[in-house]
């Protein structure tokens, strides 16, 4: 009899609250229906095997107690105290890549994979002691991101749906509140043509934030106010106010990019925002910006269709994403 554990977790789109979430600001985030999938089995001996699709196939072998060859896997092993155990695993994040270019869409595939692997390894090796609570997962954040990340991506992968996320201080437990997307507001994701290295943007933001003479110091307050207004609009089901917050936050992200010396809103993002605004909607980068994916919102379905046609005319990809109500799923199977 062979025991295997299959787990999956969704990626995410940040709707509002980029950057400010790192210092206690509110963030609106949605899990999306592109899932990272993990299958783990006990190794037959002291050597484990990894089959990885990110999106191309890779194969690794590792000995119990030694690095596996994948940093993410080793970070999860360390967090769970399982570095001395060998296992076989299939790790698949192909759904989170653009099929045309093979680049990451920027929808939190690493967090989704970490969440799924964290759960699967616990159920495999500690079936009666597994702590699959959000509080347990949140401890993983300090290993994956050195305590410097907000953990909003892990929260989205764990809980699914639309969430208002806020963490007052890095050492505090996050506040996570389930929300409902307004029925009259439609959205579309757009892949801006290339990926971005999020940590470089975050590093530039942190450097700017710590400067005593930082330019545009009022930006943080404006970002916080806009994110809070958008979260309140979502809670009230007010599509118009949420759409306005999306537009304002996108403009502020462009100003923030100028302040930190990074193209948070790239020319491609800027063109898409102009098209959306001309059609009565709004568009902004989702996440740190600099490429990756953006989100457009419309209260008129015909305007959304016209926007998609304009995007296609620019040769950009439209990943069909919907809000995924399911968060982390885990199943133990015997064969």
- Per-residue three-class SS string for 37-92: EEEEEECCCCEEEEEEECCCEEEEEEECCCCCCCHHHHHHHHHHCCCCCCEEEEEE
Q: What architecture is the 186-313 domain classified under in CATH?
A: 2-Layer Sandwich (3.30)
Backbone φ, ψ for residue 325 (5° rounding): -70, -25
Report pLDDT for 145.
63
Distances (CA, A) of 297 to 89, 151, 167, 187, 285: 39, 25, 26, 4, 12
Residue 232 DSSP SS3: helix
pLDDT at 211: 85
CATH number of 3-180: 3.30.230.10
What residues does CATH 3.30.230.10 cover in the chain?
Answer: 3-180
Q: What is the pLDDT of residues 211-238, one digit of tens each?
A: 887 667 689 999 999 999 999 999 999 9
Per-residue model confidence (pLDDT) at position 215? 66
CB 89 within 8 A of CB 124: no
The residue with tokens 């999956």 is: 8
Distance between CA atoms of residues 264 and 270, nearest Å:
10
Strand pairing report for 175-179 and 87-92:
unpaired
Measured in whole angstroms, the distance separating CA 1 from the mean position of its chain's CA atoms is 37
- Return residue ranges of the chain for CATH 3.30.70.890: 186-313
**What pLDDT sits at residue 129?**
87
pLDDT of residue 3: 87
Nearest CA-CA partner of 25 in 184, 252, 211, 271 = 252
Q: How far apart are alpha carbons 176 and 76 in whole angstroms?
A: 23
Q: pTM for the whole thing?
A: 0.94
Identify the segments of the chain with pLDDT beneath 50: none
For residues 309 and 167, is the Cβ–Cβ distance under 8 A? no
Which strand (E) or helix (H) includes residue 134?
helix 134-138
């Amino acid at each position: 009899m062979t025991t295997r554990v299959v787990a999956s977790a969704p990626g995410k789109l940040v709707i509002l609250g980029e950057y400010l979430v790192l210092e206690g600001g509110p963030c609106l985030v949605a899990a999306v229906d592109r899932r990272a999938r993990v299958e783990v089995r006990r190794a037959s001996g002291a050597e484990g095997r990894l089959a990885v699709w990110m999106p191309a196939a890779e194969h690794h072998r590792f000995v119990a107690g030694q690095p596996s060859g994948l940093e993410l896997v080793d970070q999860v092993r360390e967090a769970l105290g399982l570095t001395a155990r060998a296992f076989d695993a299939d790790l698949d994040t192909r759904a989170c890549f653009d099929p045309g270019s093979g680049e990451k869409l920027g929808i939190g595939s690493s967090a989704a994979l970490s969440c799924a692997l964290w759960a699967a390894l616990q159920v495999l090796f500690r079936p009666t002691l597994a702590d699959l609570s959000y509080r347990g997962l949140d401890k993983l954040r300090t290993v994956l991101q050195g305590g410097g990340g907000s953990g909003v991506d892990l929260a989205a992968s764990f809980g699914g749906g639309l969430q208002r996320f806020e963490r007052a201080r890095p050492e505090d437990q996050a506040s996570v509140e389930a929300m409902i997307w307004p029925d009259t507001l439609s959205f579309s994701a757009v892949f801006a043509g290339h990926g971005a290295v999020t940590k470089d943007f975050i590093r530039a933001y942190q450097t700017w934030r710590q400067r005593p003479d930082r330019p545009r110091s009022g930006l943080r307050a404006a970002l916080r106010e806009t994110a809070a207004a958008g979260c309140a609009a979502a809670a009230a089901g007010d599509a118009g106010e949420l759409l306005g917050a999306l537009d304002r936050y996108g403009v502020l992200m462009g100003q923030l990019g100028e302040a930190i010396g990074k193209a948070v809103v790239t020319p491609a993002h800027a063109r898409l925002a102009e098209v959306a605004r001309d059609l009565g909607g709004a568009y902004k980068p989702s996440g740190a910006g600099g490429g990756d994916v953006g989100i457009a919102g419309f209260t008129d379905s015909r305007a959304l269709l016209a926007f998609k046609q304009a995007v296609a005319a620019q040769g950009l990809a439209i990943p069909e994403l919907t809000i995924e109500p399911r968060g982390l799923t885990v199943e133990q199977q015997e064969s």
